[in-house]
Amino acid sequence: MKKVLRSSLIIVLLSTLLIACSSQGGTSNPSNNGNKDNTGGTNTSPQTEAGGEATTYPLKTDQKLTYWGEITPNLVGVKASHQDVPFFQDWQKKTGVQLQFIAPPSGQGREAMNVLLASGDLPDLFEFNFLGDFPGGPERAIKEGYILKLNDLIDQYAPNLKKFLQENPDIDKMVKTDSGSYYTFPFIRGDDYLKVFQGPIIRKDWLDELGLPVPETIDEWTETLRAFKEKKGASAPFSVVSKPRFFNDSGNGAFIGAFGVNRGFYQEDGQIKFGPAEPGFKEYLKLFREWYQEGLIDKNAATADLKAVDSNMASGATGSSVGNAGGGIGKWQALIEANDPKVVLVGAPYPVLNKGDTPKFGQRNQSYSSEGTVSISTALKNPEIAVRMLDYGYSEEGHMFFNFGTEGVSYNLENGYPKYTDLLMKNPDKLSPAQAIPLYARGSYNGPFVQDKRYAEQFFALQTQRDAVLTWQKTDAAKYNLPPITPTPEESSEYATIMNDINTLVDEMTLKIILGNDSPDQFESYVAKMKSLKLDRAIEIQAAALERYNNR
Amino acid sequence: MANRQSFKQRVIRDFLLNKYLYVMMIPVIAYYVIFHYAPMYGAVIAFKDYSPMKGILGSDWAGLKHFQDFFNSYYFERILKNTILISVYSLLFEFPMPILLALMINEVRNRTFKRLTQTITYMPYFISLVVICGIITDFTNADGLINRLFMLLGYDGQAMLQKPELFRPIYILSEIWQRIGWESIIYIAALMNIDQEQYEAARMDGANRFKQMIHITLPGIVPIIAIMLILRMGNLLNVGFEKIILLYNPITYETADVISSFVYRKGLLEFGWSYSSAVGLFNSVINLVLLITANYISRKVSKSSLW
């Protein structure tokens, strides 16, 4: 008996020892065999010789493409896969190109991409943010041979995108890399109105009841939160999502911006600065420390996730937060109404120190912010059809289709204005517009097309949402934010290592000072630590990247 | 030479005698060769700048760069310390618990109660880790269950997962809660095998139940305990990252950040395959050394060992 047991234990042991190795090494096939299906599609394009000319859709081809992309979080729980979503079915019909979808688990796109690339078995098309989520950025992705450089292909087969980029040189500059390579079919916010969608949110009904104005300065905020706590019995007057980082949405400079800094890099007086190493950041930490000690911030601030904030909002424990017009005001309004029908949520301006100042920072995306973009992998040997297919989103017909879906089904033209139908806005299956729109169109999130302002005008169904966007727009963020810059492929791993260590330190410093584990006087020693982690080198890399960008 | 000859002859004779047994072994051997030994050459990417498009053999050599990066990392000491501490604490506090439980269950006479206890204690093992961590987070919140109990006793509620000094206790206590029943199974099985006559003899000699436990039951399962301990040593540096990353936050990094969570943040999210392999290899080597040492000591001391 003992012997049997012993030998079986040996086997168990051996296998556990080796599991680590097998998971590292099993991926040794370097050949590009991701496109078994598209051999049949060779040279079947309708107009092979007529490069640069308009494409007629649907294309006549039997080429089948594999398409890797995350399904939008709003559809999670509504539809299980791309294939079930009417939009993706129609997209194939309209372009005439068949797609076979591969979707990573929602929210894990980056990890899944990591494994996918390591396997070397690439799909034909990637919907992935190579600028933001791929270390080393698009230049490296091209150099390492994952994705195609698209310059010639766009010239020849993507007349719509080419025309758009020629007409918009500012955006053109963002969409290419430092060396002038195109790498993706971009998602473009077609109007200033679409670039701002997030900011501080507060319960106007409480303010009115207490006779307080919508707070503008930090002092007014303190007073307001205090009143919420004392007179409204809010146990967590201000709560925010802290996943993955503490006060995640402060990355854009909400509240921190009052002290003239943000949580990342920004430009000021021709110099690149790192917010958490600037003196203003200390003032922000001090303020939040006081708020925390006074009980004005959620006690579970360090661990609160979206669910926790939602439930604080719904139960009336919280009267203010930072969130989006759609996912914040829209969602919370409905949540609270269930308990308290009088509720009115409004957008408050980004706080400043002195009344009348313009906030220095606030959420403001660039016209091109690199999410929801589609790149073509090197596995696709005959990319013409794919390029023509992806160009569809920038055509006039494709513009309507991507933003509003199919006429007669998801929208009707009323005096030339595309109006979403009740199928989307008052869905019979009780789906919210945020869930129903992505079933038929991509206007409410992203993808390879130019977003239309008329989507937002309808999506923000409440007047308070539309007003909030206008309130939040009033910042100087455009002046201080950095454009989409990237380190060179050579510098990228050095930069990533430095920033990984520094951001860990910043997160730790922020929480320890705010929650009272460290005194605010420790701030300087943290900054010294950042310097020893080579912060200056990181700033240097960013400055060089900015210079290269400006020279594009 | 003569020795080898005779060995060869013995093998041939044995093969002829038991040829079907050997045939039956082929799939097992093939499994290990294909899935465990062959992939091991992939560990070589720890010494390369791995690029999937170039393949394992085609990637450029990087020498010991990734190891140096790891050892020189600003947080190296802290994560090594945390890894070892969490391991050692769970060895000290978690490892003996299933043994105690097994001994207690063994003393219970009522069969129904015995079965019930066993089932209930090993149930948590089957709950998904994500769910467990969700439960832990909710319970330890400032207004969570545990804090409400404390508040009844007049203490102030505080978010426990925001206290660096509480991270390890929470981690280990929940570990005990989740694994105690499951891990006790092997001890209970071993207890079944103890010769009942020994107990009778002891009773004749006037030993009470406690004495019987100390002098018969415990010595009876010492070999199993030793082997489980050796196995445990072999995993000393493997603190699973899933539970850590589900429970930690920046304020508890100083006590919670371990090698695997660090590698997750740095290697996996940054696409650093070679770097992660280097750390993995480092981990495996240390574990192997620990395992061999523990086995050696155990062989000397208790005469029971894996080989």
B35 close contact with A: CB closer than 8 A:
yes
ipTM over 0.90: no
Tens of pLDDT, residues A160-212: 999 999 999 999 999 999 889 999 999 999 998 899 999 999 999 999 999 99
Taking the alpha carbons at both ends of chain B, their separation in whole angstroms is 26
Supply the pLDDT for residue B3.
56
- Neighbour count for residue A138 (Cβ, 10 Å): 27
Residues in chain A within 8 Å Cβ distance of B141: 300, 303
Supply the pLDDT for residue A395.
94
- pTM value is 0.79
Whether the pLDDT of residue A440 is over 90: the answer is yes
Mean pLDDT across the stretch A468-477?
93
Instruction: Please state, in angstroms and rounded to a whole number, the distance separating the CA atoms of residues A197 and A202.
Output: 15
Q: State the Cα angle at A4 between B19 and A12, rounded to 5°.
A: 95
Instruction: Please state, in angstroms and rounded to a whole number, the distance separating the CA atoms of residues B13 and B16.
Output: 5
DSSP H or E segment with residue B253: helix B253-256
Mean pLDDT across the stretch A131-148?
87
Supply the pLDDT for residue A52.
57
Supply the pLDDT for residue A167.
94
Instruction: Please state, in angstroms and rounded to a whole number, the distance separating the CA atoms of residues B99 and A262.
Output: 54
Domain B43-301 - what CATH class?
Answer: mainly alpha
State both tokens at A78: 């509504």
One DSSP character per residue, A323-334 reads: EEIIIIIIHHHH
Supply the pLDDT for residue A16.
44
Instruction: Please state, in angstroms and rounded to a whole number, the distance separating the CA atoms of residues A199 and A350.
Output: 7
Q: Which of residues 177-206 of A touch B (CB under 8 A)?
A: none
B192 close contact with A: CB closer than 8 A:
no
Closest CA–CA distance from residue A109 to any residue of chain B (Å): 10
Q: Is A15 in Cβ contact with B249 (below 8 Å)?
A: no
Q: Which of residues 479-538 of A touch B (CB under 8 A)?
A: 493, 496-497, 500-501, 504, 507-508, 510-512, 515, 517, 532-533
Supply the pLDDT for residue B57.
83
B73 close contact with A: CB closer than 8 A:
yes
Residues in chain A within 8 Å Cβ distance of B276: 24
Instruction: Please state, in angstroms and rounded to a whole number, the distance separating the CA atoms of residues B125 and A136.
Output: 41
Nearest Cα residue in chain A from B54: A30
User: Pairing mode, if any, of strands A98-102 and A64-69?
Assistant: parallel
3-state secondary structure at position A126: strand
Supply the pLDDT for residue A29.
39
Residue partners of B292: CB distance under 8 A and separation at least 6: none
Q: Which is higher by pLDDT, A450 or A43?
A: A450
State both tokens at A90: 């129609």
Place of tokens 């009143």: A227
DSSP H or E segment with residue A417: strand A417-420
Closest CA–CA distance from residue B288 to any residue of chain A (Å): 8
Q: Is B143 in Cβ contact with A299 (below 8 Å)?
A: yes
Q: Is A508 in Cβ contact with B253 (below 8 Å)?
A: yes
Nearest Cα residue in chain B from A500: B266
Which of these, B158, B128, B267, lies nearest to A303 by C-alpha position?
A: B158
At B295, give phi and psi (nearest 5°).
-65, -40
Residue A171 · residue A368 · CB < 8 Å: yes
Place of tokens 């303020």: A287
The whole-number mean pLDDT for each consecutive block of 10 residues of chain B, a chain of 307 residues, reads 70 87 91 87 86 82 88 88 90 92 89 91 91 90 85 81 90 92 91 88 88 88 88 81 87 88 77 85 88 87 75
Residues in chain B within 8 Å Cβ distance of A29: 55
Instruction: Please state, in angstroms and rounded to a whole number, the distance separating the CA atoms of residues B8 and B1.
Output: 11
One DSSP character per residue, A45-89 reads: -TTSS-TTSPPPSSP----EEEEEEPPPGGGTTT-SSGGGSHHHH
pLDDT bracket for residue A38 (50, 70, 90): very low
Q: Is B41 in Cβ contact with A25 (below 8 Å)?
A: yes
Q: Which is higher by pLDDT, B51 or A480?
A: A480
pLDDT bracket for residue A23 (50, 70, 90): very low
Whether the pLDDT of residue A220 is over 90: the answer is yes
Closest CA–CA distance from residue B1 to any residue of chain A (Å): 30
Mean pLDDT across the stretch A216-226?
96
Q: Is B250 in Cβ contact with A21 (below 8 Å)?
A: no
Tens of pLDDT, residues B96-113: 999 999 999 988 889 899
Supply the pLDDT for residue A327.
82
Tens of pLDDT, residues A301-344: 888 888 889 999 999 999 999 999 888 898 899 889 988 999 99
Q: Is A111 in Cβ contact with B268 (below 8 Å)?
A: yes
Please name the member of B142, B265, B276 whose beta carbon is closest to the beta carbon of A300: B142
B271 close contact with A: CB closer than 8 A:
yes
Count each helix (H run) and each strand (E run) in chain A, helices first: 22, 13
Whether the pLDDT of residue A275 is over 70: the answer is yes
